[in-house]
Structure 1
Amino acid sequence: MKSIIGVQMTNMMNKKIFFWLLIPLFFMACKDNAVDEKPIDARIPVTITTIDTTGIEDYMELNATATYLVKNNIKANATGYLSSVNVDINDFVNNGATLFSIKTRESKVLGNTINKIDPSLNFGGAIRVRSNASGIVTMVNVQQGDYVQDGDPLVTINDANSFALILSLPYELKKYVSVGQQLNVILPDGTSRTATVQKFSPTVDATSQTQNVVLKINGKNDVPENLIVKVRINKSANAKTISLPKETVLSDETETDFWIMKIINSNTAIKIPIEKGIQTEDRIEIISPVLTAEDKILLTGNYGVADTIQVKVIKK
């Protein structure tokens, strides 16, 4: 009996000894696992940029309408029947081209009789109606065989030499535009032209206080009538400015406060309040604070972050 009890006690002692031997092994295994785990990198991946000192143009865009200033109404020069019609809508005609032929009633009735008496008179020939300008036919009011009276309008021709862009210029901007100045014109399809300021209208619209300015497109004219285009008016061109890409500048919801995120050491960026100046489609002038070429500004990874963040610069 005693031997059985002794054996049981021995087994219990062995189990306790085994348990206590397992404890240090457990802690050693945990320690090894902790060494193998890598710490989490909480830095925000960002790309950076620097300032640009190229001059920025301060400009505004105004609408202008393409039109023909002179529209010629060609009229009948005799009373009679149209024996020929040589034009149609959208035709381009040259100055002096024959547009119509008119045969008078008298020539129809008496022509053959008089010509028999004296063939040199050539009585009864058609009277020609010629164009008095080169341009595009926009309206034809008659057709062959019609009876017309002297002075009736037959056709309308837009004088090609009178094509212009009419810009409605607010009077306060007149100081930025002068006769002979070259302006950039942007068409709705994204293409551009240059135009020369030809003259100012002598009157100002009483309601809108705008003054019409006539612009002549340089080179080939392929702009259709009544097209509305954008004319860029340069208000100033600074020789040297400090600017940043538009993506670097952040603002609050009301767009009253603006700031950038500037790197101050190898892995820290802080919020820097700024004052904006001229703004273009892709760049913003920074009036204050004064930035240098050595300053590194966050280009991406800067949106919705705290005033001070840990960053990791990556190549763009």
Structure 2
Amino acid sequence: MKKLFYLLLVSVFTFSCKKNVTVAAEEAKPEMKPKTEVNVAYPSDTIRLSNTITLNATATYLLKSDAKANSTGYITHMTIRLGDRISKGSVLFGLQTKEARALGNTINKLDKSFRFSGTTTVVSPATGYVVMLNHQIGDYVQDGEILATITDASSFGFVVDVPYEYLQLIKTQNSLSVKLPDGNSLPAKVAKVMPSVDAVSQTVKVLLQIAKSSTIPENLIGTVTLSKSTVYGLSVPKMAVLSDETQSSFWVMKMINDTTAIKTPVVKGTETDQYIQIKSGNITTKDKVITSGNFGLRDTATVKIKKH
């Protein structure tokens, strides 16, 4: 019995020692920090940064001309439809007075070779598009009544509501372009500035004239971008710059080696859609800054650069 007891005691002691050695070995292992996968980029000092403002521009015809009846009578024929493009002087309508119709029928019955009609014609007062038709063949109209409305192609342009503080800026632009919703851009120039300011919005209407307008519908909205200033300097991709909730302090995550990124405070300058100027901060064109995966990283974070 004593031998059995001693054997059990030795077995328990041996198992306990092995367990303690295993626990100690596990505790001695270094803690593995999780690595966040990131993309990096180098800052640049050759990018042109423009501080811009974008305004809406609405296609419009400043002038519209009315084709009016030149006598009282019936519309006997018309050569236009809504949306047609016509030239100045083109015949639009034919009119015949009530008296001429009655007299003409009587004369024609007496002498068919005379062919009296008593009709007059109405011509287009301008070159442009037919935007309104008020009558059709057979209608009886009064002298001076509006039969159709034609846009004046020479008055076409884009109207921009420009805040008054930017009025001189748009006047001094050497070249302007109107960007259309389909991605195309049209060269434009300032043609006219309206001599009044909107009382509520404090904006001035400015007419931009373009070279070609035949395919642009009225009321189409484009955009005009004005450059307020242009600078060159150290800049980083926009996604590299982080900020606090109050947008009062900014920083980038800079790589100090292949696996460690540190928080580096910076002062922002001019900002575009893709880049931000760095006015001051401990970064150079030789440093790598994190452009994705940087959100939420703490100072001295362990990261892994993605391979492309």
The TM-score bracket by the shorter chain reads 0.7 to 0.9
- 1:88 aligned residue: 81
Say if 2:193 and 2:205, in contact at 8 Å, map to a contact too: yes
Deviations 1:224-263 (A, max 9, x none): 212333211122233x232222211111111111111112
- 1:142-153 matched pairs, under 5 angstroms: 142-153=135-146
Residue of 246, 249, 259 corresponding to 1:254: 246
Per-residue CA distance 1:269-308 (angstroms, 9 max, x = gap): 2222211122222322211126322011122232223233
Aligned partners of 1:293, 1:309: CA distance in 2, in Å?
21
Residue 84 of structure 1 contacts residue 102 of structure 1 at CA under 8 Å; is this kept in 2?
yes
The CA distance in 1 between the partners of 2:82 and 2:152, in whole Å, is 14
Note if 1:170 corresponds to 2:163: yes
Give, as a single letter, the amino acid of the residue that structure 1 aligns with 2:167: K
Q: Does 1:105 align with 2:98?
A: yes
SS in 1 for 2:166: helix
Q: Quick one: which amino acid aligns to residue 67 of structure 1?
A: T
SS in 1 for 2:100: helix
Task: Say whether the 8 Å CA contact 1:184–1:192 is kept in structure 2.
Answer: no
Q: Does 1:263 align with 2:258?
A: no
Output the CA distance in 2 between the equivalents of 1:69 and 1:285.
42
8 Å Cα contact 1:67-1:166 kept in structure 2: yes
Query: Identity of paired residues, percent?
Result: 36
- TM norm structure 1: 0.83
**1:274 equivalenced with 2:266 (yes/no):** yes
Aligned AA (2:255): I
Report the secondary structure of 1:204's partner residue: coil
SS at match of 2:277: strand
Distance change in 2, residues 1:260/1:111 (3 Å): same
Confirm or deny that 1:184 pairs with 2:177: yes
The count of residues paired between Structure 1 and Structure 2 equals 305
Kindly report which structure 2 residues correspond to 1:98-247, keeping only aligned pairs within 5 A, or say none.
98-111=91-104, 123-178=116-171, 181-187=174-180, 189=181, 191-205=183-197, 207=199, 208-219=201-212, 221-238=214-231, 240-247=232-239
CA contact (8 A) 1:181 1:196 kept: no
CA distance in 2, matches of 1:210, 1:159: 26
TM-score by length of 2: 0.84
| Structure 2, unpaired ranges of 5+ | none
Q: Match for 1:247: what amino acid? A: M
- Offset at residue 51 of structure 1 (A): 1.2
1:296 to 263, 278, 288: 288
Q: 1:16 to 1:166 in 2, by over 3 A?
A: closer
Q: How far off its partner does 1:141 sit?
A: 1.5
SS in 2 for 1:133: coil
Shift of 1:67: 0.8
Structure 1: gaps spanning 5 or more residues:
1-7
Counterparts of 2:147 and 2:211, CA distance in 1: 32
Which residue is equivalent to 1:46? 38
Equivalent residue for 2:306?
Answer: 314
- Root mean square deviation of aligned Cα: 3.1
Q: Which amino acid aligns with 2:276?
A: I
Report the equivalent of 2:59. 66
- Whole-Å separation in 1 of the counterparts to 2:282 and 2:184: 36
Assess if the C-alpha contact under 8 Å between 1:82 and 1:147 holds in 2: yes
Matches within 5 A, 1:17-28: 17-19=10-12
Q: Summarize the Cα distance change of 1:41–1:218 in structure 2 as closer, same or farther, 3 Å threshold.
A: farther
Q: Deviations over 1:68-108 (max 9, x none)?
A: 11201001112221111332322322333221111123322
Counterpart CA distance in 2 for 1:148 and 1:18 is: 123
Indicate the SS of the match to 2:234: strand
Is 1:259–1:273's contact at 8 Å kept on the other side of the alignment? Answer: yes
CA contact (8 A) 2:255 2:261 kept: yes
